[in-house]
Structure 1
Amino acid sequence: MSIDNTAGDTALGTVDGGLSSAEVAERVAAGKTNDVPARASRTVGQIVRANVLTRINAIYGVLFAIIMSTGYFLDGMFGLLIIFNSGIGMIQELRAKRTLEKLAIVGQARPTVRRDGAATEIPPNEIVLDDVIELGPGDKIVVDGLVLAADALEIDESLLTGESDPVVKHHGDQVLSGSFVVAGGGAYRATKVGADAYAAKLAEEASKFTLVKSELRSGIDKILKFITYLLIPAGALTIYNQLFNVNKPLADALRGMVAALVPMVPEGLILMTSIAFAVGVVRLGQRQCLVQELPAIEGLARVDVVCADKTGTLTENGMRLAEVRNENGDDSVNLALAALARTEARPNASLQAILEAFPDDPGWHATTVAPFSSARKWSGASFADHGNWVLGAPDVLLPSGDAARAEAERIGSQGLRVLLLGKSDLSLDSGDAPGTVRPAALVVLEQKVRPDAKDTLDYFASQNVTVKVISGDNALSVGAVASSLGLPNSEDPLDARNLPEDKEQLAGVLEERAVFGRVTPAQKRSMVGALQSRKHTVAMTGDGVNDVLALKDADIGVAMGSGSPATRAVAQIVLLDNKFATLPHVVGEGRRVIGNIERVSNLFLTKTVYSVILALMVGIAQVNYPFLPRHVTVIAWFTIGLPAFVLSLAPNNERARTGFVARVMRMAIPAGAIIATATFVSYMLVRTKATDEQAGTTALITLMIVALWVLAIVARPYKWWKIGLIALMSVASFLLFVLPFAQEFFLLDPSNTGFTTQAVGIAAIGVVLVEIVWWIQRKLNAPAETD
């Protein structure tokens, strides 16, 4: 590494060789290690407790114990839902846990540590106290420490302090875990490891495997809490009615109470939500997508703007030197390029391409080095016998109107990257560097467009998702690449230096334009905020350290697996295969999860509504409850449980919208009221003329027909497999009433043709009314759907 340009600092080459193997072993034995969980995934015990000790299972457990005490064991079949609720949730989460932990190992930052005089990459949890850790651009600082060597070292501590400006670090300065290197290099000694380091708390908070709060889950929780409060008065009314008005024995009264209360609980809604989230994580894991925060699953369904960088997203990371245009016929141009490419220990893609083109070392000795940073957009070095050379953006280093700058813009408009190689009149350790720059050559680099980039952009266009290309490169160059891919509104790229600072004005420009060049890290962050101020849900993709702030502020941050550790640390989604083309699958998975949960919520909450209303009607009328617990169990199987499981895993590309609870209840409340009323009328018309089994069967026929029609509505728009699902459930329900074994097991008696015909007729009226409700609801939702 080159000599440091800051007086008093120590060059990395002079740093000691680090700890010896014996010293490492001594610290490991003393527990002075950084051995903290790389991810805060729940333990097996926590997963079991979280899935067993739930509000739903507690309610069902109490009702199951009550029915067991009566001796009617067959009526306790609903108790199997406790096993299903817990078992399926545990299995899916354990599978997701294994997938996430395997992927976390792949995506883990591996710091370079000096031991026994040699540098080696190790996992963060193997760092011990007093380890010497090397730093380079993009490296994340994984433990706290003190700087031993600094070579123009600049640290971004924005994740800790909120201050976006990099902090220059010198020998003896403190560095904190959670920050990252934006320029230069160096080394530091670990002073705090494990739980003492800030990184442990940061990683645990950012990577926690938990179904955290979201609009979807908070809405379901509100509904469940309300239902829990309803159960107490409904149960009291039912048991009072059964004991004192109908004069049933205690066992039969308890049996009727349980039959009334069980269907009030949307037991499968939590189960289906957990399954949908867990399956979504596993599916994304199979596509090499590391989900670091589960709210990303829901957020992805709501994305309507994707902000993407050009380099590494639309184009491949690697570059190739296409041409060196020597402006003045200077013979030292090639030598200067070769020398500059060797001044940085970790060259960026541009310097790496130059290094590959000029593999021979010219032997120039650098006295001062100015590493590249995205803030100033140039790098350079002062060489003892060969002057001061800079390499960077022509529109930054040259004044407006300069011929070389104009030529660079012309070349850049063709989609090529153009750097200016120039000589400076000032040493690069001067505060006014680079001073006046005399052009020496234009360095033309080319990037390869990703073969799948166009298909990805076409997908987003078809889904009404707007793509904004936000790059630090020349605007014309970025626009040329975007136009070649057919991105809408890419013909008029905008230089970000001309963007207004006012958020409202900035939002207006962002709505109109699609391609932006010369965007600084602070501007990327401002652009994300401006889009969010217009009620957009923004996903930001990136791979470089200059993307970190925007990734952190975006609704969904998507980092490339090959990007810097800092970007992977703050992103909710990491594309470990580095393919932008994976993102449509990620967005589609989010839409599938949220869209399907809203779809099946209509089924579960309709059942809850009709169960509550029917129980109140029966209590007020002071008549016997028409159903047994085994009846409500089979209703749940054929009209809700099995269909909901299939529908929750089906494809669904509809973009999610806010207002989940209100939208679902607009359908569930009237549909539930119609089902309850139709069932109650059907029951009351035959109650005095039929046996208890015949009256219950008549009511059950009415309920099943209307409930199956609600299923048919929820399944729209139809596909062959949905039609098959509805047909299968209808046939299964029909067989329930005609098979002798089923009649005996479920205590059904459909033998009276008149009662059955009456039940079907009332059900037909209910079907018509439910269909009207659906059409009205569709009209009410139409404006929102076209937004």
Structure 2
Amino acid sequence: MAAQRGLTEKEVQQRIDAGQRNDPAPSLTRSVQQIFRDNLLTWFNLINVILGALVLLTGSYKNELFLGVAIFNTAIGIFQEIRSKRQIDKMSLLSESTYKVIRSTGQQTVHQDQIVQDDIMIVSRGDQLPVDARVLETAGIEVDESQITGEATPISKTVGDNLVSGSFLVSGQAMIQATHVGAKSFVNSLSDEVQSGEGANSQLLTTINRIIKILTIVIVPLGAALFISRLYNDNSISQAILGTTAAMIGMIPEGLVLLTSVSLAVSAMNLARRRVLVRELPAIEGLARVDVLGLDKTGTITSGNLQLNRLIPLAGQQLETLNTVVGGTINAIGDDNETARALTKVLPNPEWTATKVVPFSSARKWSGVTVDNGNFVIGAPEFLLHPVPADLSKQIQGYATDGFRVLCIAQTARMSADDLGEIKLLGLILIQDEIRENALETFTYFQNQDVALKVISGDNPTTVANIAGRAGIKGADKLVDMSNLGEDIDYDDLVARYNVYGRVTPSQKKQLVMAWQRAGHTVAMTGDGVNDILALRQADCGIAMASGSEAAKSIADFVLVNSNFDAMLNVLNEGRRVINNIERVASLYLIKTMYSVALSLIFIFMISGYPFQPIQLTPISVLTVGIPSFFLALEPNYQRITGQFMKQVMVIAAPAAICVVTYILVIDLVGGVQFKLSYAETSTLSVLLTGAVCLVALLMVARPLNRFKFGLVLLMGGCFVLIFVFFGKLFSLTSIFNWQMALFYLPLLVTVYPFYYLVQESLGKRVFARIKWR
């Protein structure tokens, strides 16, 4: 391209001072202000503050302790999320897009927020435009504006045409000038209309939020009914307030949403340390559920470092002449992809002058140029010759079987994207690639974890199958050439029969992903080029290499900063750890919620007071839920995902809640009526039995036990006993060293584990087995 005089430093500064500077790339994390706001301004925090104010009116200040627990939980969440944010932001800088800008001092590489109005930029295939621009020079480019219009068909652009921000080049390169930057760019001015991919969806958070919504509807009217009932049954206002407060804070699964969000944030931080940038936190969970992984050959199975093996002259061509023709053609076309770099590195450049260029397109699988000597194209034989002669097809098949990527060089009568006229084949080009280091171990691990690997590539299927087999991918012999299938393709049948797909166009990649999704699979897709973007966007989880195109990185949920696919093992394990651990500990939070709702409904119709005071729930919440759930959520747990969150939760929580309600009714009706125990004594025994049931549930959640988990349960149980021995007065508990009380509560304590087991087995056989859980 001809040299262009760019802006001077003075002109750049003038535009910066005038506010004509582009915006930085959007942050992948929330701001510190947003983190504080979203953690503090919640519905349940509001309820806690109101309840705290009401308890303050009673003068029982120690019952305000529940607010301390809520504040501590929120503070921990804010701290962890800010800590994670800083690590992710550091990693974002490493993968942030850069652009080539021409200024008076020469060519510079800058970030998008350093681009100013009227800057001259050089863009090439795979670049996503950060500004609106006008084409100054080009030999031919095609632009995908699907993120703006929703239409994925590439649009040809030439000198003088306008380009909109958010679009990306699918072929060619160009020199462009920024016309609108920052807030005045097309994407920013019409931000509400921009069509982009939907954010990653978390089944875990969706289920938990559904529970929260139900509680939001229930908690206030139920609390109000209980308060009125307590006043009607001659309780004092203070007793009614304390009982109602205890019931309502019991219904709040404080920390559950927080624990889930913090666990995902911590996982993102851990992955950032392993050079994996997470663009959407729920995507960590999404990849853990993946059972089909679509692999793009180049950059995923292979290193992407292509090398020219040799040229094969045809039609009486001399090798020396063929070297010149291929070198002249590829240099005149000016493509900047891996294949072009492999050829220009070793072939001579006769410096032909191009009068017309058709740049490489993933859909066409060829690129071409018109020079003084005629029209020349380089591309896939199957896409240039219709049909490929039988003897040539056999020759190509032989090279492909040996693992070579086979291209051809041809002379054509015309140079049009739609019509090349008569084609004269001059020779074959053999390109070889190398398998990534540790590819065999990585793919074997995924397959052992029941993740089916499918290879989708634009190359010859025999070549792809050869490489897939060398990388240890099962079923590599089940291959299909997508270029031979015509227009009417049964994708559902294809995905059921084959594992390797060659000569795949970008739209076909997307259709294959959709077919797997229709079959009930959760699909992840890897890619590094513009030809992968449609599939990356369609997949449940998109994975891009940092060395790939900017457009691919902007679509993906994960960016591998070192472009090392082995890092995906860490993502899979982090996702499984989060999901499995949250599924386990969620039951601990919901036990309290379930028995609090049930007791509130029951005690609306009972004369005696609600069995707990707010402060009495603190030992139960902290020792059987808060502290152990924090440690259990960080434990290694890489088991396969069951996909039955509610069943996993209810198997533990429902029996525990039934046991708690049963014991409290026994204490109230038998202990209060038969043994003539006071309210202080019955509430003390309610705390004791509830804590015992929750400790049994904790033991169930901690399975399979190891030394650490067993020690944790033992420590929490010991601390719970010490509360009664040394801190009873602080928590409004009476002494349990009373033989009359002991005669009553000791037999109940002995029955806790057998009763829990009996209820769990009964529910498991009669209820859980009949319910279809999501």
TM over 0.5: yes
1:634 partner amino acid: P
CA–CA distance in structure 2, aligned partners of residues 426 and 366 of structure 1 = 16
Deviations, residues 569-628 of structure 1 (Å, cap 9, x unaligned): 111111111111111211222222222222222111111111122233334221133333
CA distance 1:481–1:211, shift in 2 (3 Å) = closer
CA contact under 8 A between 2:147 and 2:195: conserved in structure 1? no
Give the partner amino acid of 2:464: V
Q: 1:39 touches 1:207 (CA, 8 Å); kept in 2?
A: no
**Structure 1 equivalent of residue 326 of structure 2:** 337
Contact in 2 for aligned 1:496/1:519 (Cα 8 Å): yes
Aligned residue for 2:303, secondary structure, equals strand
Select the residue among 16, 21, 34 that pairs with 1:28.
Answer: 16
Q: Distance in 1 between matches of 2:458 and 2:161?
A: 30
User: Any residues of structure 2 matched to 1:73-92 within 5 Å, and which?
Assistant: 73-92=61-80
| 2:332 is equivalent to residue 347 of structure 1 | no
Is structure 2 residue 596 aligned with structure 1 residue 611?
Answer: yes
**Inter-partner Cα distance in structure 2 for 1:785 and 1:227:** 22
Within 5 Å, give how 1:648-659 maps onto structure 2: 648-656=633-641
Deviations 1:282-314 (A, max 9, x none): 122112222222331332232111111011000
Answering whether residue 577 of structure 2 is matched by residue 592 of structure 1, we say: yes
**Aligned counterparts, 1:357-756, within 5 A:** 357-358=346-347, 360-385=348-373, 387-398=374-385, 399-422=387-410, 424-428=411-415, 432-433=419-420, 435-440=422-427, 442-499=428-485, 505-656=490-641, 660-661=645-646, 664-665=649-650, 667-688=652-673, 689-737=676-724, 739-742=725-728, 746-756=732-742
Alpha-carbon distance in 2 for matches of 1:228, 1:782: 29
Pair 1:203–1:124, CA change in 2 (3 A): farther
Distance 1:501 1:527, change over 3 A: farther
CA distance in 1, matches of 2:728, 2:486: 73
Deviation at 1:510, TM superposition (A): 0.7
More divergent stretch after superposition (304-313 vs 765-774): 765-774
Report matched runs for 1:166-181 at 5 Å.
166-181=154-169
- Give yes or no for contact 1:18–1:131 (8 Å, CA) kept in 2: yes
Aligned counterparts of 1:563 and 1:464: Cα–Cα separation in 2: 28
Shift of 1:477: 0.5
The Cα shift of 1:715 comes to 2.4
Alignment CA distance shift 1:259-1:529 (3 Å): same
Residue 64 of structure 1: aligned partner: 52
Aligned: 1:323 with 2:310: yes
- Structure 2 residue 214 is the aligned partner of structure 1 residue 229: no
**TM-score for the superposition, normalised by structure 1:** 0.91
Q: Does 1:155 align with 2:106?
A: no
Deviates more, 1:20-29 or 1:468-477: 20-29
533-542 vs 157-166, which moves further? 157-166
Question: 1:660-699: per-residue Cα shift (whole Å, max 9, x none)?
Answer: 4466346534431232112221343222423444322222
Question: Contact 1:341–1:352 at 8 Å: present in 2 too?
Answer: no
Pair 620,777 (structure 1): closer, same or farther in 2 beyond 3 Å:
closer
Residues 611 and 429 (structure 1), Cα distance of their counterparts in 2 relative to 1, 3 Å cut: closer
Q: What is the alpha-carbon distance in structure 1 between the residues aligned to residue 436 and residue 506 of structure 2?
A: 24
Deviates more, 1:765-774 or 1:728-737: 765-774
CA distance in 2, matches of 1:744, 1:130: 71
- How many residue pairs end up in the alignment? 767
**What is the CA–CA distance in structure 2 between the aligned matches of 1:601 and 1:201, rounded to whole Å?**
43
User: How much does 1:211 deviate?
Assistant: 9.8
Partner of 2:97: 109
CA separation in 2, counterparts of 1:304 and 1:112?
A: 40
- Residue 48 of structure 1: aligned partner: 36
Paired residues of 1:404 and 1:439 also in contact (CA < 8 A): no
Counterpart CA distance in 2 for 1:534 and 1:106 is: 38
CA contact (8 A) 1:206 1:293 kept: no
Q: Distance in 1 between matches of 2:390 and 2:147?
A: 40
Helix, strand or coil at the partner of 1:700: helix
Deviates more, 1:424-433 or 1:675-684: 424-433
Counterparts of 1:130 and 1:404 in 2: how far apart (Å)?
52
Distance verdict in 2 for CA 1:156–1:236, change over 3 Å:
closer
State the one-letter code of the partner of 2:599: L
User: Quick one: distance in 2 between partners of 1:196 and 1:674?
Assistant: 63
Residue pair 2:28, 2:279 contacting (<8 A) in 1 also: no
Q: In 1, distance between residues paired with 2:201 and 2:564? A: 29
* Bigger mean CA offset, 51-60 vs 80-89: 80-89
CA distance in 1, matches of 2:708, 2:190: 46
Flag the 1:27–1:740 CA change in 2: closer, same or farther, 3 A: closer
Q: Say which of 121, 125, 131 aligns to 1:137.
A: 125
Q: Residue 55 of structure 2 contacts residue 241 of structure 2 at CA under 8 Å; is this kept in 1? A: yes
Aligned position for 1:8? none
Moved more, 443-452 or 678-687: 678-687
Query: What percentage of residue pairs aligned between the two structures are identical?
Result: 37
> Counterpart in 2 of 1:9?
none
Contact 2:651–2:768, Cα closer than 8 Å, also in 1: no
Distance 2:768 2:665 in 1: 30
Aligned to 2:345: 356
Call closer, same or farther: CA 1:207–1:434 in 2, change over 3 Å: closer
TM, length-normalised to structure 2 = 0.92
Helix, strand or coil for the counterpart of 2:243? Answer: helix
Q: Secondary structure at the match of 2:297?
A: coil
Q: Say if 1:40 and 1:204, in contact at 8 Å, map to a contact too.
A: no
The amino acid across from 2:368 in the alignment is: G
Cα distance between partner residues in 2 of 1:776 and 1:466: 37
Change (3 A) 1:114 1:489: same
Rounded Cα–Cα distance in structure 2 between residues aligned with 1:374 and 1:212: 27
1:203 CA displacement:
9.3
Check the 8 A contact 1:698/1:756 in 2, yes or no. no
Secondary structure of 1:652's match?
coil
Q: What is the aligned partner in structure 2 of residue 128 from structure 1?
A: 116
Task: Kindly report which structure 2 residues correspond to 1:212-291, keeping only aligned pairs within 5 A, or say none.
Answer: 214-245=202-233, 247-291=234-278
SS of structure 2 residue aligned to 1:13: coil
Matched letter for residue 686 of structure 1: G
Distance 1:289 1:575 in 2: 5
After alignment, is 540-549 or 274-283 more displaced?
Answer: 274-283
Which one-letter code corresponds to 1:300 in the other structure? L
**Displacement after TM superposition at 1:521 (Å):** 0.5
Q: CA, structure 1 residues 341+430, in 2 after alignment: closer, same or farther (shift >3 Å)?
A: closer
1:455, distance to aligned residue in structure 2 (A): 1.5
For the 8 Å contact 2:313–2:426, the answer to whether it is kept is no
Give me the whole-angstrom Cα distance separating, in 2, the residues matched to 1:783 and 1:142.
54
Question: Cα RMSD over matched residues?
Answer: 2.9
How far residue 782 of structure 1 moved from its aligned partner, in angstroms, is: 7.6
Query: How far, CA to CA, are the matches of 2:181 and 2:752 in structure 1?
Result: 67
Provide the C-alpha distance between the structure 1 equivalents of 2:42 and 2:195, rounded to a whole number of angstroms.
24
Q: Secondary structure at the match of 1:371?
A: strand
CA distance in 2, matches of 1:451, 1:784: 47
